[in-house]
Amino acid sequence: MVDIRQMRYFIALAETLHFGRAADRLNITQPPLSRQVGALERELGVKLLERHSRRAVLTAAGQQFLEDARSVVSSFDQACRNVRLADRGELGELSIGFMMHAAHTVLPGLAKRYMAAFPLVEVKLREVIPSSLSGDVVAGRFDAGITFSPGPVRGLATYPVHRENLCLAIHREHEFAAHDVIGAAALEGQPLIATPVDVAPTLRQAISDYCRPYGFEPTIRLETQLQQTIISLVGENLGIALVPQSMAKLQTRDVVFRALEDAPAIEQVIAWRPQNLNPALRAFLTVAEVPKATMQLD
């Protein structure tokens, strides 16, 4: 059976056409070189070389086999390099699910750093609503997710990567626009636009918790899934919204943002499944500066 070593021996001999020089290149003596090339010819049933003392001349079949053997050996060597790269997380595929808020905060910088450090890894990014991200990661649909902190979830590890305050998005003609800071008590009875509870439960809980100490529940006038849509509706003067500060980057016409007094903060985390065996995940968590002791990867 033809093996890679025999191909390497033949290539060295075919390129030097001299048994002594080929043996030196291979760091072996001439007899094993001659035996292996002879065994190769017998296995193939083809004469590859015409032998003249220590010299050799390729036959037509030998010339063809040289071209093909070079290709095979090159592919084999690349396969060996690739498997080592993959084992180190430097080659392969990495899938990341993220909520829209992450696209305005940690995701762009993290993706840029990771892709610069591991250019051979194919990165797949997909935007998903926050409420489904944890389950998607546990189910293995993503290697990692960037979402609001979900609290304890069986089979899920998390690490905080971003924390920001909520602020108030209002129409530029709203009475609150004249103030730099708005207190929670002023929000009583104000029509709010918010993400549904089943889409972003952590965000909705933060809004309710901010109002409740002042003796009222927030008045939700409209619900819509996307934060961009919320900001657009605020721009149409259909209500106001408590949103993460990063939403101010949208710079929508007729919408201004104001700070909240004692503003509630909301945390984003990287979430992953500790049993995930994808080596690219460990590399991603390292770029995200997750401590090794926290990774829990087997």
**Residue 18 zone, left/alpha/beta (φ > 0; ψ -120 to 50; rest):** beta
The pLDDT, as a whole number, for residue 11 is 92
The pLDDT, as a whole number, for residue 298 is 62
Strand spans (E) along the chain: 49-52, 55-58, 92-98, 121-127, 144-148, 157-171, 181-182, 191-194, 219-223, 241-244, 255-260, 265-272
150 and 182 housed in the same domain:
no
Q: Does residue 54 carry a pLDDT above 70? A: no
Query: Using 50, 70 and 90 to split pLDDT, how confident is the model at 59?
Result: very high
Alpha carbon 185 to its chain's center: 42
Number of domains present in the structure of the chain: 3
CB 222, CB 233: distance < 8 Å: yes
118 and 148 housed in the same domain:
yes
Q: Which amino acid is at 120?
A: L
33 and 180 housed in the same domain:
no
Which residue range is the domain that position 121 belongs to? Answer: 92-160+268-295
Query: Using 50, 70 and 90 to split pLDDT, how confident is the model at 222?
Result: very high
Residue with tokens 């910088």: 109
CATH of the domain at 190: 3.40.190.290
DSSP notation for 33-91? HHHHHHHHHHHHTS--EEEETTEEEE-HHHHHHHHHHHHHHHHHHHHHHHHHHHHTTSS
105 and 48 housed in the same domain:
no
138 and 21 housed in the same domain:
no
21 and 69 housed in the same domain:
yes
Dist CA 138 CA 136 (whole Å): 6
28 and 70 housed in the same domain:
yes
Q: Does residue 126 carry a pLDDT above 80? A: yes
Residue with tokens 């934060």: 227
What mean pLDDT do residues 143-151 have?
92
Distances (CA, A) of 227 to 28, 196, 208, 237, 243: 69, 11, 17, 15, 8
Three-state secondary-structure class, residue 209: helix
What mean pLDDT do residues 288-296 have?
88
DSSP letter, residue 20: H
pLDDT over 90 for what percent of the chain? Answer: 68
CATH of the domain at 74: 1.10.10.10
Is pTM, for the whole model, over 0.85?
no
Distances (CA, A) of 73 to 1, 45, 131, 214: 16, 20, 50, 74
The pLDDT, as a whole number, for residue 253 is 87
CB 6, CB 35: distance < 8 Å: no
CB 192, CB 210: distance < 8 Å: no
